[in-house]
Amino acid sequence: MAEHRLIPLETRQAQARASNPEISAWVSANAGSGKTFVLARRVIRLLLNGVAPGKILCLTYTKAAAAEMSNRIFETLGQWAGLDEARLRDALEDVLGHAPEGYQLHRARTLFALSLDTPGGLKIQTIHAFCEALLHQFPLEANVSGHFQVLEAMAQDALVEEARHSVLVRMQQARRADSDLNQAFAHLLAIASDTQINSAIREILADREAFLNWAGGDVGQAMAAVRQRLGFAPGTTRISVITEELSNSLIFMGDLARLAETAAAIGGSSNERFAGLVADIGEETDAVASLHLRTKLFLTSDLEPRKRLVTKPVVSSHPDLVELCEKEAARLAASLARIANLEMIEASHSLFVVANEILERYETLKRNRGFVDFGDMIGAAANLLARSDVREWVQYKLDRGIDHVLIDEAQDTSPRQWEIINAIIEDFHSGRGASEATRTVFAVGDEKQSIYSFQGADPAGFSRQRRSVSERARSARQKFESVPLNLSFRSTPDVLAAVDAVFAIEENARGLSASGEASIHSAIREKDAGEVRIWPLFASEKPAKQTDWLAPIDAPVAHDPAIRLANRIAATIEEWIGRGEILPGRDRPLRYGDILILVRKRDRFVPAIIRELKRRGMAIAGADRLHLTDHIAVEDLMALGRVICLPEDDLSLAALLKSPICGFDDDELIAIASNRKGQPLIERLVEIRTSGEAGLPVRKIADCLRLLDELRKVAARSSVHRFYSHALGAAGCRAALLSRFGTEAEDVIDAFEQAALAHESAGDGGLESFLASLSRNPPQIKREIDMKKDEIRVITTHSAKGLEAPVVFLVDPCSPGHIKQHAANVVALSKDDAMAGYLWRQSGAANALDARMEEIAEDAEAEYRRLLYVAMTRAADRLIVCGYHGLRPPPEHHWHSMVMRALGGSAQQVMDAEGNVSEFIWRHSTHPQDTRSAETEPSKPAIGPVASDDGGPEAPLPDLVFPGHLKPELPLPKPLNPSLAGLALGRRADDTGEEGAAVDAAVQPTDPTLRRRALERGNAAHKLLQYLPDLDAGDRVSAARAWLALNLPEWPVEMRESMISQVTAILDAPGNGEIFGPGSQAEAGIAGTIAIGGIELPVSGQVDRIAISEKAVIVCDYKTNRMVPDNDAQIDPAYLLQLALYRALLKQVFPGKQIVCRLIWVENGKVSEPDDSLLDQALTGIAPSVHAYG
């Protein structure tokens, strides 16, 4: 249940201004400040104001954000449709800020149906989805196919590969080797490797629209402008520049010879070297070789002038000549840079000729097959809206359709996307639009969270667009508001104070925002305690010499700092969960789903932490992204394909036999494959099937060969996708893989099928071609993050945008924000002017890109700091900053050092048993560890709306959440959790383990293994009883087996089967039909206040199961004690108290209904239903303890 708090008046006023449907507004929203609530509220107010649903366009950054926004809006509208008049009036008054008019009451009831009935519904979508719809509406004007298909990433990769291959084949077949294309390609092969060329071409493809706009189909003309920009006249060649530079030498050859003669006479190694090189220069007639010799003479290997050319006696003999030589060295260094710049231009020219050819072929393939990729959608839509000949027609159609534009995550909008938005809103403030109604623009974002520069995001564009819209609105005398939202509904004051402290340091704050102002955050959770912990960095240890020649050279080693950090994080989480750690601001035991592990990049730490968490039996969501071919299920499917293509491929066949598809173990495989004497493995299998050789798994071999024969026939007459669809479906391969790898493999298998379909759509060959393409360019698949599952998540900070968690581990690999070697190699000459051109960056003396690379480095460092801001603000209650580095000391400025510099000096040091600092704990000085203790006197709150964690008021609330008779000036004790009531009030339970009921988990066995097993058993029972009732009875056992195998693989099979039997017996029991039937609810939150002994006691908890009927409310709690009481009198008093507190709360919510309280004992399925007298006695008997507690 969301925690409800009073929203300060200032924030409520800011939210009201931002959601005002009569004005345009630009909202700068800090992390966690409820921007989604404001967006949804503005859409709702627009609808209430009479705006038709079809005239609203809301652009979000992701599909998930669009879905969340739609759900919030439709949930509100759906609730309104069913409220009585009094409640509806209250709800509308909260939204509008004043009493609703009669027509608004009527409209509110119809909005849900109206929004559903509107053609196309509410337009809440990503900008790509909007552009796709626009192009479908105007295909002729946009010059796209009328029935185009969107080209997904995997199909795009296949099409690019086809275009590349087509160009290479065409070059090979060309009759003239001196054609521009062939010469360019020959030049590339002479100066770069295949990897470098392919990498550069991929970078051009990623920015192909801008590149093609610049090149214009004529690379030579475009590069001529670049040459001129860098000071090279038309027709200048490398040889001509070298000749020119040699002729401009400051010292004559005769003078060099005199100096060399003196040096040779005096002797010494440096003098003799000088004399020898001068002699070689005098004899050399080739300009390039002469330049090379002069470079060796005057410059070091780093192309810097030599500090000493000859010894002091030589200098004393010819000081004027030595001075000339020093000047010549400086001039030569500059000359080499100029020559290198020209070489870079020529290399770029050759690369761009080849890349342009591939791009043109790629565009042709797309056009012929009716494809449009994501870049095309943005570019075509922007060009359509900018065309003067069709613009008025398109604008007229859009005028009739859009009157209000809302932009989410505006800081991540690219310049090209802003062009589209600006074209849509151009007439909003001009008075020339087709609509006479008020037309508004709304944008919400945060420059500090702009972290997607690799997708074109421009943080400066947020402020630039705000100024532009503001000026246009005010010029038209229309209202415009810039609204800041600073109050966080997510994080505690301690976490936010840490963020402010880190970015109060000027060096850390550079690039955080355009204004350069320090970030200031405030928290609605002002009484909740939080903390920031900083762990010392784990450093690499020099590895011991490997003595075991059998050990794999790439096996993870215990001294690896990433593995040591993963072990500490996993051990810490295990300890927290095991002891029922309670965060001060949460009042419940920590769960797996409360923990988020953020990484900067997916390096070796990610598999290490996932492996360690799984090893300890903890629920882990797995990697959020992975290369498709990295998953073992895909490796098995690829092995199947290879065997179908070539049955004699023994390695692939052996891998297939070991896979779940065939199911052979090592012993069986060795018995089959040994003593073959060069015989192919497939022939050996056929031989065993025919002979029926004793001691071998003949039946399994026959089944395997029958499967291969069936699939070989399917492959001969089917496409790649049809072949794998048959293999995974009718042939049973999907079921076999899922039975071994669990439901985690479902997404991966689906992505594999999608890759096969994409390959087929691109028309890129058969099964063998598909497997080769997949091996060469494995696609990366992204798993959607389901925050509702009770699992630990390990994701990158980029993927965590918009997410939050009570506990966040921030893992820093201590790498710098910018690494020059990892920067893009194809570089735009200007950040703001794409028509300035591009260059292919080369190593060496070239300096034409030095200033631009410094600018790129500064931008990367600024985004690195913004990424830290995003990472820190994901934490709601506790932030742990940790990291690791190699043998060398880390760079000066990295995330860990930035946080440590700001917080380390005032943090509390915690020492380990050996006297070393194990961690630093930082808390804001004005907040004690638990600010909601009984001794703390809260300030008297102003009466007003209450807030949920997302920043919006939840209205109307029942009296038990915010009772009207509650006196706000009286301090309330810390809310009591019914599951923990026995412990809090001095009672104990004898149960030894279930994570789902905190009172059971509070008293654990002392042995860590037994304690973990008890917790696992309790958690498993709760999870199965939570989710299995929603499945058909026939599917429950298989689903339970799959869940236990995936989450508790270390459990013995008999233990899992016992748990399944216990749970299914409970679900199938005739007397439990109502509690597990339709309409019942699992894990239902409940909160309120009850009076005990004259004291108002806040109570907040979660019931395992609740069922509500017309006459009764049944509340049920599960217990996993091994010892089940024989009768109700033997039930532990703590359990009776737990049920009594639930009953007392529910009586307030459901007056007049019978409240039935039950305990279900998982061990034998027994159901206890204590009578009211026992529950009354439990409640009245704690009055003395309540006085002490309160």
- Domains, the chain, in order of start with CATH, read 20-146+375-486 (3.40.50.300), 182-368 (no CATH), 532-624+789-922 (3.40.50.300), 631-765 (1.10.486.10), 978-1189 (3.90.320)
Mean pLDDT of 445-461: 88
- Average pLDDT on 643-658 reads 94
Q: Point out the least confidently predicted range of 127-136, 651-660, 1030-1039.
A: 1030-1039
Q: Which of 629, 632, 624, 633 is nearest to 783 (CA)?
A: 624
Question: Taking 60 as the threshold, does the pLDDT of residue 953 lie above it?
Answer: no
Q: Read off the pLDDT of residues 1062-1114 as tens digits, 9 standing for 90 and up.
A: 999 999 998 898 999 888 888 887 878 888 777 777 887 788 999 988 889 99
How high is the pLDDT of residue 207?
87
Question: Comparing 465 with 391, which gets the higher pLDDT?
Answer: 465
Q: Is residue 822 over pLDDT 60? A: yes
Reading the block at residue 262, the tokens are: 């003196």
| Distance, first Cα to last Cα, the chain | 23
Rounded to two decimals, what is the model's pTM? 0.73
Q: State yes or no: pLDDT of 155 exceeds 90.
A: no
DSSP sequence for 988-1026: -------TTSHHHHHS--SSHHHHHHHHHHHHHHHHHHH
Confidence (pLDDT) at 981: 57
- For every residue of 155-208, DSSP letters joined together read HHHHHHHHHHHHHHHHHHH-S-TTSHHHHHHHHHHHHS-HHHHHHHHHHHHHTH
Per cent of the chain over pLDDT 90 is 40
- Quote the pLDDT of residue 967: 36
Q: 705-713: which pairs have CB atoms within 8 A and are 24 or more residues apart?
A: 707/661, 707/662, 707/731, 708/643, 708/644, 708/647, 711/640, 711/644, 712/644
C-alpha angle 1005-1010-1016 in degrees, rounded to nearest 5: 105
Cα pseudo-dihedral 419, 425, 431, 434, rounded to 10: 110
Q: List the one residue out of 1019, 889, 882 whose CA is nearest residue 567.
A: 882
Could you say which DSSP state residue 844 is in? S
Angstrom distance (rounded) from CA 270 to CA 309: 7
Q: 879: pLDDT confidence band, cut at 50, 70 and 90?
A: very high
Closest by alpha carbon to 269, among 236, 229, 309, 234? 309
Spell out a b/e string for 106-136, using b for 16 or more CB atoms within 10 Å of the CB, else e: ebbbebbeebeeeeeebbbbbbbbbbbebbe
Say which DSSP state 230 is in: T
Helix or strand holding residue 260 (H, E): helix 253-266
- 1159 with 1116: CB under 8 angstroms? yes
pLDDT higher than threshold 50 for residue 987 = no
Q: How far apart are CA 1064 and CA 1165, in angstroms?
A: 9
Q: Worst-scoring range by mean pLDDT, 508-522, 601-615, 908-922, 951-965?
A: 951-965
Q: Amino acid letter at 444? A: V
Query: pLDDT tier at 924 (50, 70, 90 boundaries)?
Result: confident
Residue with tokens 């510099």: 901
Going by C-alpha positions, the residue among 92, 28, 50, 40 that lies closest to residue 70 is 40
Residues 431, 800: Cα–Cα separation, whole Å: 42
Q: Average pLDDT for residues 396-406, to the nearest whole number? A: 79
- In this model, does residue 768 exceed pLDDT 80? yes
